[in-house]
Structure 1
Amino acid sequence: MANGKEQALDIHGKSYSRFAMVLLLLIATFAGMLNQTSLGTALPTLMKDFDITLSTAQQATTWFLLANGIMVPVSAFLTTRFSTKWLYLTAYIVLFAGMTVDAVTPADKDMWVMFLAGRILQAAAVGIMMPLMQVVMVNIFPAEERGAAMGLGGLVIGLAPAIGPTLSGWILDKDHVILGLTLSDSWRSIFILPMIVLGITIILTPFFMKDVIENKPMKLDVLSLMLSLAGFGIFLWGFTNVSNDGWGAMNTVILPIVIGVIIIGLFFWRQLRMDQPFMDVRVFANKQFALTTAGTALAMMAMMGVEMMLPIYMQNVHGQTALQSGLALLPGALMMGIMSPIAGAAYDKVGAKRLARVGFTILAIGTLPFVFLSIDTPMHIITLLYALRMFGIAMVMMPLTASAMSALPREEAAHGTASNNTIRQVASAVVVALLTSVTQNIINTNTPSHALQVNDPIRYADHMLQASLDGFHASFFLGLVFAIIGIVVANFLHDGKVIVGQTNSVDVHVEKEVK
């Protein structure tokens, strides 16, 4: 492929503007990734408008992550089989349709299913766009520039989910006029801005998007597709039911998780026996790829777990508005955006191990105080700690992602990206459902009696507030555990930068040792 000094050519031998194509990719995927967390600060508003509980409202996130996790394995087949340009255009249109569905959903408890359907459409599109972007980056940038390229991708993968709660909080604060369009202080407007950006992207895609990934006439293995959809879908569905039904629910929690694990095992077994697997899980035989993928998943779990619970904590415990809680997260989002390209470029010089070790350590230090937050904790302290956490996550995410992709030969990039993103999205879906259930269960267990509410309302309010704090403390503690495990995983990574991956089960990676 062309490097920075050579003319960029697509698979048809035609020149194109790599800058324009990458810019289009980043902007469109950013608009899509915003949907992952943009409802974080809007959950209390959704609970009020739809008359639903916290665990039900959280389904807007868990079902998004669930559908996203299901679609990512399919991306490897789609990327290899279909034109890059038209695959992206299709994904953009599906994403636009999903956001339209949510924007017009009536605020009625019975229509919540319609809202979730829109979220699933959005997730399906993002499940194609996100891994495809990484494969494109691998194909259009040479190995020596791949770390910086992945850093640019980090502006999407890291910054968009980080800035989502702030953006939605700003929208929910009051009416805004942008380009002559009035955005009302409603959760519906959260979808309008990305739709505008996406609409422009859809128009520009036929002109600036090019086919840069070689296509092969692969035959779709229907059984693998069904096993993938059923396995990951049932497994994650079981976790989404925990917050409502509890861990003891055999039919809706335990059984789906067990059945899901069995089907996923069958899916992996089938892939190992196929000459042209639907998703080549053999990439996990590469130790560096497997470890970096595990580290990335832990970083995502640490980020998503605290990021989704913190706005609810600030609004329910501190009485902050959606805008105030969103602004409290803004410095952290900006920190993520600033550090992602820097961390990606640093990977090109020192490799992933040192950066991951430092990043996870910073993440653990920044998370520890969250376990002891109280109603009297100043908001600026929360903002500072959150920014410190995001600094650590940025130090981890981009180097590990770049290292994972560099550990594999280019021809395995699509399967490597699909595998990496599948693990990451499944981990994110599990952790959001897990932390929501832990928080909700502790709150329910410690909720004072109704009699106390009648006889001593002030004391009841104090006890209820403490019950909420106990729930949030438990979820933040789990975030700390993920960071500590990440430190352990980082110590097993290769020193230096991995240039080439594993081929034919023989480790042929080359490292640049940093003295």
Structure 2
Amino acid sequence: MTRPTPEPAAPSRGVPEAVHRRRWAVLAVLLSSLLVVVLDNSILNVALKTLAMPPPTGLGASQSALEWAVNSYTLVFAALLFTGGLLGDRLGRKKTLTAGMAVFGLGSLLSAFAGSTGELIAFRAVMGLGGALVLPATLAIIVNVFERDEQPKAIGIWSGAVGVAIALGPVTGGFLLEHFWWGSVFLVNVPVVALALIGMAVLVPDSRDPRPGRTDPVGVALSVVGLVLLVYGIIEGGRLADATAPLAWGPALGGLAVLVLFVLHERRTAHPALDVGYFRDPRFAVAVGAVALVFFSMMGVTFFMVFYTQSVRGCTPLESGLLILPLAVSQLLFSSRARLAVDRFGARAVCTTAMVFVAAAFLGCLLLDRDTPLWVLEVLLFVQGTATAHVIPPATVSIMSSLPREKAGSGSAVNNVFRQVGALLGVAVLGSLLSAVYRGGVEDDLAALPPGERHAAGESVEATLAAAGRIGEAGQALAGHAEEAFVHAMHVTSSVAAAVALAGAAVVLFFLPGKSAGAPGRPGGGRPAGVVAGSREQQGRTEQTG
């Protein structure tokens, strides 16, 4: 008599079965949270020209005020990501995710009805606080609801959503500005936040580190003070068009000194906000650096591109946003497929090649002039998006796969901190460089304006064009010279962004371990020395409830 063949044993999982079954629904909820937080980083870009207009159309914001409107969000976001990740590890990632979305929604509502640039900058900082709680929790929850063999795919989708959100922000903002007032670019977040909160309550499991680290208020304070001083000095240097001015180099040097103290403190404290031990693994350190350099270049170029399309080329906000679509399409097409190239060629080869193409796209901006066919810009954006899609996902997988699962929150925070610091410094450095070069190019032509208006008019091309429009026929020549000066400044800034991307490519090429070191994202691959692989059950020791 033949015995019945026994049913194959179900594979053992580090993730509870109830959570595993709904993992894709959980990912959908997390992506909705991620999209609204990251999209707000870029949705403001298309509204910058509108905000620079006098009330009631805008807020009459200066160039430096616009940079602070962007950077107040990013600065608080970056400075508190360490703490956001640690709070998620300690209190529970679902709790911090929910609290962060609620704070983000409140900040969005307040920003929509800001009555001055000062209020807008302050309320954007509130949004940054919410985002700092949301972003590390999303990636940490992904690591805790997906098994190791599915994490590269899930993280690829997560990374693709980041790129798509950055690219769709201007499109969404352009559509809203076409039909509503400038505050609509913030108000649109509120219903999305409400729906995301419902999804979190129903679907997202909670998880935490059974041995979480303590918060580090001294480290957080040092990082905030250091970054604020550094960014303030950089922006002031651009506003004054003089990096040697005490208001520029004084705060910048002071910020660097405080950041050095921050690093020394983090190396010595028993409970660091930033665990510098992570950086002993080259797979982690180089991948973090690559992400930071890509976002430095990309966000800095995105900041000034809206002025090229709207102020120089005369596009509406909606048209300007639609011109960014190739960046979104390429991210959508390639982010989830980048892992296939990594499996075949290795992360080092893929990331190095991709960063070279990022640099090529920025150098291609030298082709853009006052009358260049706009399809040239479309091609450059598609190349940039395709290349970025082959840097961010494999770099993120490399970062997260080098850490044990129970440290997913703090590891995610480090990843996102350097992403945001890269974006923050990109807007500050490249925005200030653009402002300084532009002022130098248009300064002689500002003699056509009344003396009291010259300094403010030289801060940005939009300010110059507005001033030129007030002096009749004499302003036509000034407007033409302003557009030429802006294009020249854009070429200089794009070249610097390309140099930064090439520097990143060199770092990846020489320091990221090759394919033989273990492909990131594969089970058991990409662990730093001293971390034992163990069983899948041991990898999933993180406490988790469905």
* TM-score normalised by structure 1 residue count: 0.88
Corresponding residue to 1:495 among 514, 520, 534:
514
**Displacement of 1:350:** 4.0
1:122 — aligned with what? 127
1:52 — aligned with what? 61
What is the distance in 2 between the residues matched to 1:287 and 1:47?
Answer: 44
1:512 — aligned with what? none
**Displacement of 1:215:** 4.1
1:171 — aligned with what? 176
What is the distance in 2 between the residues matched to 1:254 and 1:154?
Answer: 36
What is the distance in 2 between the residues matched to 1:104 and 1:135?
Answer: 33
**Displacement of 1:269:** 1.9
Deviation string, structure 1 residues 83-102 (Cα, Å, up to 9, x no partner): 12211110010000000001
Contact preservation (8 Å) 1:409, 1:500: no
Specify whether residues 402 and 482 from structure 1 end up closer, same or farther in structure 2 by C-alpha distance, changes over 3 A only: same
| 1:167 counterpart letter in structure 2 | T
**Displacement of 1:505:** 9.0
1:18 — aligned with what? 23
> Which one is further off, 296-305 or 207-216?
207-216
The answer as to 2:106 corresponding to 1:97 is yes
1:182 — aligned with what? none
Specify whether residues 391 and 97 from structure 1 end up closer, same or farther in structure 2 by C-alpha distance, changes over 3 A only: same
1:39 — aligned with what? 44
Structure 2 residue runs of 5 or longer lacking an equivalent are 1-9, 450-470, 535-546
What is the distance in 1 between the residues matched to 2:184 and 2:11?
Answer: 43
What is the distance in 2 between the residues matched to 1:458 and 1:194?
Answer: 40
Specify whether residues 74 and 222 from structure 1 end up closer, same or farther in structure 2 by C-alpha distance, changes over 3 A only: same
Deviation string, structure 1 residues 331-367 (Cα, Å, up to 9, x no partner): 2112112211111454355431121122112222222
| 1:115 counterpart letter in structure 2 | L
Q: What is the aligned residue count?
A: 490
**Displacement of 1:251:** 5.1
2:452 — aligned with what? none
Contact preservation (8 Å) 2:283, 2:526: no
| 1:263 counterpart letter in structure 2 | V
Corresponding residue to 1:449 among 445, 450, 455:
445
**Displacement of 1:396:** 0.9
The answer as to 2:274 corresponding to 1:279 is yes
Contact preservation (8 Å) 1:37, 1:164: yes
Instruction: Say which SS state the counterpart of residue 212 (structure 1) adopts.
Output: strand
Deviation string, structure 1 residues 44-95 (Cα, Å, up to 9, x no partner): 1011111122332232212221111111121232122111221111001000
Instruction: Give the alignment of 1:208-219 within 5 angstroms.
Output: 208-216=203-211, 218-219=213-214
2:404 — aligned with what? 409
Contact preservation (8 Å) 1:69, 1:127: yes
What is the distance in 1 between the residues matched to 2:19 and 2:484?
Answer: 64
Instruction: Say which SS state the counterpart of residue 147 (structure 1) adopts.
Output: helix
Contact preservation (8 Å) 1:353, 1:494: yes
Structure 1 residue runs of 5 or longer lacking an equivalent are 175-184, 509-515
**Displacement of 1:129:** 1.5
Contact preservation (8 Å) 2:225, 2:255: yes
Contact preservation (8 Å) 2:295, 2:426: no
1:180 — aligned with what? none
| 1:480 counterpart letter in structure 2 | A
1:191 — aligned with what? 186
1:157 — aligned with what? 162
Contact preservation (8 Å) 2:94, 2:137: no
Specify whether residues 96 and 411 from structure 1 end up closer, same or farther in structure 2 by C-alpha distance, changes over 3 A only: same
What is the distance in 2 between the residues matched to 1:149 and 1:5?
Answer: 20
The answer as to 2:492 corresponding to 1:465 is no
> Which one is further off, 159-168 or 350-359?
350-359
**Displacement of 1:161:** 1.3
Contact preservation (8 Å) 1:139, 1:213: no
**Displacement of 1:170:** 1.6
Corresponding residue to 2:329 among 325, 334, 342:
334
1:318 — aligned with what? 313
**Displacement of 1:257:** 2.3
> Which one is further off, 79-88 or 409-418?
409-418
Instruction: Say which SS state the counterpart of residue 273 (structure 2) adopts.
Output: coil
Contact preservation (8 Å) 1:271, 1:281: yes
Instruction: Say which SS state the counterpart of residue 275 (structure 1) adopts.
Output: coil
Contact preservation (8 Å) 1:10, 1:210: no
Specify whether residues 158 and 307 from structure 1 end up closer, same or farther in structure 2 by C-alpha distance, changes over 3 A only: same
Contact preservation (8 Å) 2:38, 2:165: yes
The answer as to 2:71 corresponding to 1:62 is yes
Specify whether residues 262 and 401 from structure 1 end up closer, same or farther in structure 2 by C-alpha distance, changes over 3 A only: same
RMSD: 2.6
What is the distance in 1 between the residues matched to 2:531 and 2:69?
Answer: 41
Larger Rg: 2
| 1:135 counterpart letter in structure 2 | A
1:484 — aligned with what? 502
What is the distance in 1 between the residues matched to 2:144 and 2:526?
Answer: 14
The share of aligned pairs that are identical, in percent, is: 25
